[in-house]
Structures are given as structure tokens and as C-alpha cells.
Amino acid sequence: MANFTLNINGKQQQVDVDPATPMLWVLRDHLNLVGTKYGCGVAQCGACTIHLGDVAMRSCQLPVSQVGNQAVTTIEGLSENGDHPVQKAWLEHDVAQCGYCQSGQIMNAAALLKANPKPSDAEIEGAMNGNICRCATYVRIKAAIKSAAG
Amino acid sequence: MTASNSRRTFLKNTLLASGGLVIGVNWLTGCQNASSDAALTMPKEWFNFNAYLKIGENGVVTIFTPNPEFGQNVMTSMPMIVAEELDVDWKNVLVEMAPFDTVKFPGGPFGQFTGGSRGIMSKWEPLRNAGAAAKHMLKEAAAQAWQVPAAEITTSAGVLKHEKSGKSAGYGEMASAAAKIPVPEKPTLKEIKDFKLISQSQKNVRGKEIVTGKPLFGVDYKVDGMLIAMIAQPPAFGMKLKSVDDSAAKAMPGIKDVFTIKAYNDGYEKNMFDVNAFPELVAVVGNSTWEVMQAKKALKIEWEPIAAYSETVAGFAGKQTVNVPAGLESSTDHHAKMEALAAKPGKVVRRNGDPEAAFKKAAKVIERSYSCPHLAHNCMEPMNFFADVKGDKVKVAGPLQAPGIIEGTLAARMGIPVENIEIEFTRMGGGFGRRAYSHYLVEAALISQKVNAPVKLMYSREDDMANGVYRPAYHAVYRAALDENNQLLAFHVKAGGIPESPLHADRFPAGAIDNYLAEDWKMDSNITVGAFRAPRSNFIAGAEQSFLDELAEAMGKDPIEFRLELLKRAKENPVGEKNDYDAARYAGVLELVREKSGWGKTPVAAGVSRGVAAYFCHASYAAHVLDLTMENGKPVVQKVTSAIDCGIVVNPDAAANMTEGAVTDGIGNALYGEMTFKAGAPDKTNFDKYRIIRMSEAPKAIDVHFVKNEIAPTGMGEPPFPPIFGALANALYKATGKRVYRQPFLGERAVMG
């Protein structure tokens, strides 16, 4: 066990955990930030996507010991009032069915648009291919990303 | 459950539940209004009208969704039905998940069942009655207060009005008095033409919570002092626990206990949803998920082969003996054995005319074989459940589709009455049939009982995929007899599977062909199977619709025209008496998809290949036209045009979403979906090997159309799924010149051809 001070959603948070613990479980079990979801544990589904700085990361493969003082953003911290352009677009297109994967989809889409504000269809597909939606709402996810891009 | 029964029990229970003050906000819900665009002021007092709704003194209405939510959006559509009859402004509605309650929500074990596309279908009348009854009571209360005839009072958007006297009042003002009014025996329902909210698309009432990551799901459930549990299960079907050395695991940090749990008591008689291959599991309990995952790896477990056994299972058709063979099965053997069984005579389940004679005199016989592998459900939220057992009281909470069934299993296993069990529904991260088999709930309760603490049982993705209740592997042989003029003389289908047949013998084209023969067969297996989105139909539709396409071509007919000719026959002069579809509605979706896709009229773009298919299941009709191009040997689905007849569509945009999902899910499963086994062990236990369709493989566009009619709603979640397999197969043939007969069509191959 070891103590870590983490910068999560703009707040300093302390945890005392095994250094190998993935951020996914630090967020979910220790910090009660459960919007970040467990789907596969092997970085194949994208449900656990968070931002490290501006970059989308699979938190199931990110040991807490490697985070240091980098800014971590989770779905709970993407916007203050749930009004990030990507979140608004998701509501406008009423994307969700079960909704379980959508935090990860939104975090991945937000990072894509930060890096590439006007992505082409092929760029959207390339960036989002790592995020599985088992309800298969892909047509709406893509439409929402295009709306958010304006 | 008959409609009249449902009405009587509804009214009885409404009486029981009416009046009085009900307080309590579910921990999972806030006070966001149904349209997610404003926060509502919570009332000081709630007045309970019936199991489905309560009204606050400030006019805010809470509507309870009776059935668990797994993405079909009943959290939105069911309250819409109540709100319609109540005549309340949707913006003034809060929505909550109802508690599990077999008295408030009658219907036996299926009263609060999510599955079989039965949600809206079965709750249409109770939900309408609930809203209409409350509206009646409000009008009566106003009539008494104003001393005017109730019949002269009108309602609109939560306001009662008496035009002659100029009096008006909000529902909140009358709620206290109205809750004491006797419940009407037969509340007057609106005319369908007067609907204002139904058929007007409303956004998902949990949309805002979903996009902001609020706790909604079973995995998010948490109480103080809660421990985390995981299970270790046999690595293969046909194996069971022999011994466990847990000394290393127990010594690991954060670990509270390691022990074994038994699935059922000796001599327990299973019901049809008690599907569980492993009689004993190892449970690891600790403080956090990561610590428990590590300890699980430190277990030293010996497994041994099971012996063959028989058990009695109580199913829809009464008690049946199920034989479970010993041995370690493999998918390669399965396929060879299915082909061998398909070559033998099956059990005749339907015969019209003299098919044998017709085949004998045929000028030409077309025979084709189709097959599919097992599929894993792979819900994004792995199986999990919360349990807190205190003495002889059990509280459980989590994702499940069939609470009314697992309740009995849990009571039997724990040796307590059902009255001592409280079940809370969380939102499900997908279901697709898997969560109708919720033995994980029993496991969670047994673990909580042993450690004497609240526990959340979590399956890892690997546990989830390897402890499946899979879609069975199926096989079907279709034969058609043609005369010298290429006219259809006879039709024969023989279908079976491991361990059940996919055949629906009384469905189209039964009823449309004079000489018709249907046979089925099955083969025992120790690999557990169960319902998977549109059970049986999800295979047989694709096989049948591919065969009809091939038949139409051999007969020189347009595939839509050919189906319409058969349906005309079935409508005007049906063969046999047990045909379970409505030929006119079936033809209706084909006609609509023909029109909307421009089939045969609009020339398709260069390089685009089209396929069509249609199917009836879960009381609804669906037809698709699929357009694809081939790029570097890979199919790219450019567009799917869908026509659905599911009666009145309560929430059209949500139903379109469901159709888009079903279409995309079906294309994914048809091209890549496959769970294979070697020596009883699943070959795939995570998404690195198990292919789920991804964004780049999804259709570029999906255009959904609904038949407009005034038929009470029929199924929606499943019907669009089965026929897309056929539409894809038929388009692939047009693109490549080769028919596909064995799913998955692409499998592990990179390209087709």
C-alpha cells in the first residue's frame, strides 16, 4: 500500500492503495467516481476512458503509480453542469440505450474533438473504433460527434 | 394473463394502494423532470393514487415504471402512457423505477419481467388505466369541491376546468381530496385519435444522468461497509470443483474470506430460468475489487469432470426431464454432429398436403443447409449483484430481467419465505436475455450470508463470457420442390440445434404453401444456453429469408414480389389452421420497405448491392432492405431501410434508436459473432478475441419507418433483429455471386471471396 495525491477533476484527492491498482478501481472503489465503467479490464472496450491531461486513456490499464500530478478528468468533471458540447450533442441525438458505455464514448469523443475539432467520418471512425457499444448506437454516436464539432 | 384478468387485478390493487401519504426518493434518482430540461421543486406531500403514480400538492407527478430498464427505454415510454391518460404536462413529471412488488404489479412471475418484447405490450392496458383512473378521481374531487357535475369538467396539462362556472384548479390542489375518492371500476380511456403525448418523441428521461456519469447501474450500487466479492468457476463446461487451496489467497491484503458456495440445495427442482452449469463456486471476499481480483489469481483449485445426470425442469410446457451429458465438448464436433443429425429423419411438427409425393414428382429440388455457432450475450455491464442478508431477511439490488422468477429460486436456496426478500432494480448495462438467468443474485446472497455483511458480487469480463447462458448453435436444412415451369410444389424445413431446435413451424411460409413439412431435432449438451435477443428467430429468420431469396431467383421472381404472392395466398386462402402471423401486416412492412427504399424503381448506385428480408416475431413485423459495397473484400453497409409494424409507437425516436441498434447488432453477429469451445472451454473470454461490431463496421445510415395504425402496441426490442441476418446474406450474394450459409459469414477471415 502507498499514499498517492491525485489531481482529479481539479481537486486534490488522497488515496492509500496498492501502487499497481488501475485508476479505474481507484476512481470507482476509493473515490466513488463511478461514471467511469469497467467493461473488459484489458483496454479493448473503452468503457473506462478518462483524460490524462487532454489525452484519452483507458483507466483499466493505467496504474495509479504512473499518474503523478497529471490532471485527471473523468466524466463527472468533463463539465460543471453536464453542458460540454459533446454531452449536449448526446442529449440532442438521444444516443443512449442502456447507457453503460456512454461515459467512455463521450470522454473519447471529447478528447478527439479537442485534438481535431473538425474530424472527417473516417477520422471519427478511427478514433472511436476502440469503444464498444453493445446496444450498437454507433449511427447516433457518430451523428452526435458531428453535431458537437459544429 | 388475459386482458380482463389484468383489468380486475389492476383495479383491486389500485384500491389497496390508494390514499395515504408516500414519502421516499430512490437513492438512484434525483428530482430532474422527465424531459431533463429543468429541476422541479419537490412537493411537501405526495398523494398516492395507485401503484403507478403519486401527485404532489404542488402538482408535480411521479410516475413509476414497473419493468426493469435495460436500454429499451421503458423508463420513458411507460410513464408516457400514464401521463397521456392522466393529461399531465410531461415537463411536470418525475420518473422513478417501481419497487419489485407482486401485489401492486400482478401477472405472476412475469408481472415485472423485462424480456420477450413484452414490456409495452403487456403493460399498455394497466398503464392507461392507471392514468385514466387518477384523472377520474381528480375530476370527482373537483366536482365535489365546486358542486358541479363531474362530466362537465375537462382536463388539460394538469389543470381541471369547469367552463360554465369559470372554476379551475391544478391537479396538486385537488390531489389530497382526489386520493380519497373511490377508484373507478372502469375508467374511461381516451380515443386513440385524441392522444397528445403518445407517438410524440420524448427524450430518454435518464439522458442527463447517463451523459454525466451518475450512479445508475448495479455495479454502481454502494452502501457503507459493503465488501466486494468475486467467484472462481470451472475453466470448462463439463468440469466441477474438486478441491481448493485458499491459503495464499486468504493471506493477501484486503481479503476477508474465501469459501465455497453451492448453487442449489440437494433435490431442488429447477425452473426454466435456473440455468447454471456449475454446482459449486469458490467465493473470494475483500475490501476492494482490485484486491479481490489479485487474491483470486492466488487460488489453487483442482477441477474434475462431471458425471452425466438428468434433472427435472419446470418450463412453460410443464415439467420436463433434461439430460446433461458428461464430457468436454468442442464446437468442431458440434458442427459435425449437427450435420449428421440433420441427415436423419426428424420429428414431424407440421405437415400440410402431401409434401413427400410432391417432392417425388418435382422437376427440380433445391436443398440448402444453414448453421450458426453459439453466441455470448456480452452485456457491457458484466453480471453483478448487491446483497445484504441479515438473519432471515434478504435485501438484493442490481440488474435483472426476471425478478418474479429468481425470487422463488432465492427463497428456496436460502430457506426463507419470499415475503422476507426485497429486490431493488437498478438500470441494466444491457441484457439481451442474459439477465433473465440471474443466478448471480443467489450467489451474492449466499456470500453476504456467509460473511455477515453487505456484499457486491462482481463477475470479471472473463467470468461473464465463460459462465454464459449462450445462444444455442443451430442448423437448418431447407428444401423446395419446383415443377417443370419453376412453380413451387412443396416446401420442407428440418431444423435442430444444441440443445434445442430453432424451428417455429407455424410461421411464414407455413400457411402459404399447399404441401409443407416441418421437422425438428435436438442434441443434448452440458453447455448452458438461454434466450438471446429474439430466441430461435435470431437464426431461423436469416436461414429462411436467405432460402426464400434463392428460391425466388430460381423461380425467376423478384424477391419482394415472391414473398407478397405467398402472403396473398396465406391471407386469402390459408393452408392449415395454426398459422401464427397476420399475412396482411406482414405484407404491409414489405410494401412499406419497397416504397421507402425505392426497391426496383430507384436505380442503385454503381457498386451497391441490395438484399431484402422480412420476419414476424414477438407479435410484430419487420422488413429491411440493406445496401452494401465491397471494399478490399470487406462488406461496407452503406444504408439499411427498415419498415416496422409494432402497432402504435409510443416513443417513435426511441423505437427508431432500438431498430438502429438491432440492425447494427444483427450485422455484427452475422459477420463476426461466434463463441466456440475446445474441450469444454470457451475459446474467447474477452473482447480481444470475441468480436463485437465496432463503429467503422456499422451501417453508414439507417432509415427507419413505422407502419401507422391504431393496433395496441406489439413487440419492438426483438422483431427488427432476426431479419437483418437475411437481408445481409442476400446483399452479400448480390455483391459476391456467392451465397453464405454458415454464420459468422466473415468470422476470423479478413476478407470475403
What order of strands is seen across the sheet that includes strand B159-162? B153-156, B159-162, B167-170
Q: Are A59 and A27 in contact (CB under 8 A)?
A: yes
CB-based contact, A7 to chain B, within 8 Å? no
pLDDT bracket for residue B23 (50, 70, 90): very low
Q: Is B178 helix (H, G, I), strand (E, B) or coil?
A: helix
Give the pTM.
0.95
In which residue ranges of chain A is CATH 1.10.150.120 found? 85-149
pLDDT for residue B315: 84
- Other Cβ atoms less than 10 A from the Cβ of B706: the count is 21
CA end-to-end span of chain A: 46
Taking domain B473-736, whether its CATH number is 3.30.365.10 is answered by yes
Residues of chain A found within 8 Å of residue B211, distances taken between Cβ atoms: 75, 82, 87, 90-91, 96, 102-103, 106
B467-518: pLDDT as tens digits: 999 999 999 999 999 999 999 999 999 999 999 999 999 999 999 999 999 9
B402-445: pLDDT as tens digits: 999 999 999 999 999 999 999 999 999 999 999 999 999 999 99
DSSP string, B263-304: SS-TTPPEETT---S-SEEEEEEESSHHHHHHHHHT-EEEEE
Q: Which residue type does B329 have?
A: E
Cross-chain Cβ contact B461/A40 below 8 Å: yes
How distant, in Å, are the alpha carbons of A149, B75, B191, B206, B408 from that of B39? 28, 18, 32, 13, 40
Which residues, numbered 48 to 77 in chain B, qualify as contacts with chain A under a Cβ-Cβ cut-off of 8 Å? 70-73
CB-based contact, A33 to chain B, within 8 Å? yes
DSSP state of A3: E
Q: Are B707 and B592 in contact (CB under 8 A)?
A: yes
Buried b (16+ CB within 10 A) or exposed e, B53-68: bbbbbbbbbbbbbbbb
Residue B151 CB contacts under 8 Å (≥ 6 apart), including other chains? none
C-alpha cell at B216: 445508475
Cross-chain Cβ contact A45/B380 below 8 Å: yes
Which CATH architecture best describes the domain A2-77? Roll (3.10)
Share of chain B above pLDDT 70, in %: 95
Q: Is A125 helix (H, G, I), strand (E, B) or coil?
A: helix
How distant, in Å, are the alpha carbons of A51, A149, B37, B336 from that of A79? 13, 17, 16, 56
> Strands B270-271, B309-315: parallel, antiparallel or unpaired by DSSP?
parallel
pLDDT for residue B292: 98
pLDDT for residue B38: 66
pLDDT bracket for residue B1 (50, 70, 90): very low
Mutate: best of A73, A135, A147, partner B, most B CBs <10 A = A135
Residues of chain A found within 8 Å of residue B210, distances taken between Cβ atoms: 90, 96, 99, 102-103
Closest among B581, B613, B370 to B496, alpha carbons compared: B370
Mutate: best of B37, B76, B212, partner A, most A CBs <10 A = B212
pLDDT for residue B753: 63
pLDDT bracket for residue B32 (50, 70, 90): low
Cross-chain Cβ contact A91/B206 below 8 Å: no
- If you average pLDDT over residues B127-140, what whole number do you get? 98
Rounded Cα distance, B462 and A40, in Å: 8
Which uninterrupted H or E stretch holds B635?
strand B634-645
Distance of CA B110 to the CA centre of its chain: 13
pLDDT for residue B27: 35
Give backbone dihedrals phi and psi of B328, rounded to 5 degrees, phi first: -110, 110
Rounded Cα distance, B369 and B478, in Å: 6
B201-220: pLDDT as tens digits: 999 999 999 999 999 999 99
> Strands A71-73, A2-8: parallel, antiparallel or unpaired by DSSP?
parallel
- Other Cβ atoms less than 10 A from the Cβ of A71: the count is 15
pLDDT bracket for residue B35 (50, 70, 90): low
* CB nearest B694 (choices: A36, A106, A132): A132
In which residue ranges of chain A is CATH 3.10.20.30 found? 2-77
pLDDT over threshold 80, residue B259: yes
DSSP state of B471: B
B377-409: pLDDT as tens digits: 999 999 999 999 999 999 999 999 999 999 999
Give backbone dihedrals phi and psi of B692, rounded to 5 degrees, phi first: -110, 140
pLDDT for residue B25: 33
Residue A11 CB contacts under 8 Å (≥ 6 apart), including other chains? none
C-alpha cell at B269: 427442482
| 2.60.40.420, 3.30.930.10, 3.30.365.10, 3.90.1150.10: CATH of B218-309+383-458 | 3.30.365.10
pLDDT over threshold 60, residue B31: no
Topology of the domain covering A85-149: DNA polymerase; domain 1 (1.10.150)
In which residue ranges of chain B is CATH 3.30.365.10 found? 3-211, 218-309+383-458, 473-736
Cross-chain Cβ contact B288/A37 below 8 Å: no
Q: Are A31 and A13 in contact (CB under 8 A)?
A: yes
In which residue are the cell numbers 479493448 written?
Answer: A44
B435-466: pLDDT as tens digits: 999 999 999 999 999 999 999 999 999 999 99
Give backbone dihedrals phi and psi of B607, rounded to 5 degrees, phi first: 85, -5
Cα angle at A33 between A27 and A37, to 5 degrees? 75
Three-state DSSP string of B381-420: CCCEEEEEEECCEEEEEECCCCHHHHHHHHHHHHCCCHHH
B735-753: pLDDT as tens digits: 999 999 999 999 777 777 6
pLDDT for residue B5: 36
CB-based contact, B307 to chain A, within 8 Å? no
pLDDT over threshold 90, residue B4: no
Three-state DSSP string of B2-62: CHHHHHHHHHHHHHHHCCCECCCCCCCCCCECCCCCCECCCCCCEEEEECCEEEECCCCEE
pLDDT for residue B29: 41
Closest among B703, B366, B724, B342 to B545, alpha carbons compared: B724
* CB nearest B657 (choices: A21, A36, A94): A94
| ipTM of this complex | 0.99
CA end-to-end span of chain B: 51
What is the CATH code of the structural domain delimited by B3-211? 3.30.365.10
A25-42: pLDDT as tens digits: 999 999 999 999 999 999
Residues of chain A found within 8 Å of residue B203, distances taken between Cβ atoms: 91, 94
In sequence order, the β-bridge partners of residue B313 are: B270, B320
Closest among B647, B622, B624 to B718, alpha carbons compared: B622
Locate all alpha helices (DSSP H) within A50-137, ordered by sequence: 85-92, 102-115, 121-128
Question: E strands within B51-203?
Answer: 53-56, 61-65, 93-97, 153-156, 159-162, 167-170
Give backbone dihedrals phi and psi of B77, rounded to 5 degrees, phi first: -70, -35
Task: Round the average pLDDT of chain B to a whole number and report it.
Answer: 94
Closest among B345, B590, B621 to B492, alpha carbons compared: B345
pLDDT for residue B317: 83
* CB nearest B71 (choices: A76, A97, A131): A97
Rounded Cα distance, B207 and B36, in Å: 7
